[in-house]
Amino acid sequence: MTEYSKELLTYFYRTMCRIRLFEETVEKHFLNGEIPGFVHLYIGEEAIATGVCANLTKSDYIESTHRGHGHTIAKGADVNRAMAEIFGRKTGFCKGKGGSMHIADFSVGMLGANGVVGGGFNLAVGAALGIKMQERKDVSVVFFGDGASNRGTFHEGANLAAAWNLPVIFVCENNKWASTTPHGSQTSVENISDRAVGYGMPGVIVDGNDVFEVYEATKKAVERARQGGGPTLIEAKTYRIKGHFVGDPELYRTKEEVKEQFEKNDPIKRFEMKVLEEKWMTEKELAAIKEEEEELIKKSVEFAKNSPFPDASEIYEDLYV
Ligand SMILES: Cc1ncc(C[n+]2csc(CCOP(=O)(O)OP(=O)(O)O)c2C)c(N)n1
Ligand SMILES: [Mg+2]
């Protein structure tokens, strides 16, 4: 049995709770009409970003998706600025002009969420090429959905990363849905990890709702990439608990299916059960962490709401022309 340090266990629990509470809070304020645009929630998938990012340092890169709040938080981005960005406020990472789908924090190596499905692959591969040319030991991780794995950009990126032996970790979050479309009706293979063979890189499957499994698989892939071994494809099997976006009427699946998945597979509950059973942590320790995170998220909303909106005169600033 692998032993985990208290520090790592605390990071796992703290990060998963932080993401869950952040997302529940965003949902509430979005439904109140306080958040502009669109939001896609990461609830139920917290173990993936958490287990992956536990292996990364600030100078490693991540590329995210339209469902990017969890990745941003796990990479260590400031929660106040993340919340402010989603609320469209000037104190956000992109001065409130990017919002949920363009959240980014270069200071921690979070290169950006992306409204274009499959838009992250070649940015991550490019970042990895930069790492290699600069002879650094860092890695570049790209998170993407099962739906995105059907885009040409995935295949182009996977091929180039392998051909050039770049330090890229492809992390597929297979949550069984791409918007309203179930996995089987749009994807040619049951396991997306099988696609790795076609590009000459290892492909592994992990239980995406088990933070320990995600952590261990990523650890191997990251070590390999840092030592010049090239890319790996990790497929994390999970389930999208919330609608595709907040407000989705979800006419394409039953409430029972979702309930069953959440009851049996909530990554946070599974973590709690495991650490209590193994006597790695106590109920008291878990409760204290959760309380601290509740306070942090509450403060982030106050920070966001007390921040000004960007001025209309700034609309053409920060654009590439
Ligand atoms: C290029 C492109 N095509 C279509 C869309 C519309 N769209 C947004 S999210 C999504 C589904 C993505 O599914 P998946 O990659 O599995 O990610 P998930 O939402 O399940 O996390 C689609 C089709 C888009 N944003 N960009
Ligand atoms: Mg999906």
Which tens digits make up the pLDDT trace of 135-169?
999 999 999 999 999 999 999 999 999 999 999 99
Q: What's the whole-number mean pLDDT along residues 239-251?
A: 97
* Residue 195 a catalytic site member: no
Furthest-apart CA pair in the chain: how many Å?
59
* Residue 253 a catalytic site member: no
Q: What is the CATH number of domain 6-305?
A: 3.40.50.970
Domain coordinates of the chain in residue numbers?
6-305
The residue among 53, 48, 8 whose CA lies nearest residue 275 is 8
Q: What's the whole-number mean pLDDT along residues 76-91?
A: 98
For atom 3 of ligand 1, which residue has the closest CA? 117
Is residue 174 pLDDT above 80, yes or no? Answer: yes
Q: What is the pTM of this model?
A: 0.98
For position 1, what pLDDT does the model report? 60
Choice among 252, 253, 316, 320 that is catalytic: 252
DSSP one-letter code for 32: T
With bands split at pLDDT 50, 70 and 90, how would you rate the model's confidence at 258? very high
Helix ranges restricted to H, 87-198? 121-133, 152-163
For position 2, what pLDDT does the model report? 73
Is residue 5 pLDDT above 80, yes or no? Answer: yes
The residue with greater pLDDT, 184 or 173, is 173
Is residue 321 pLDDT above 80, yes or no? Answer: no
For position 3, what pLDDT does the model report? 84
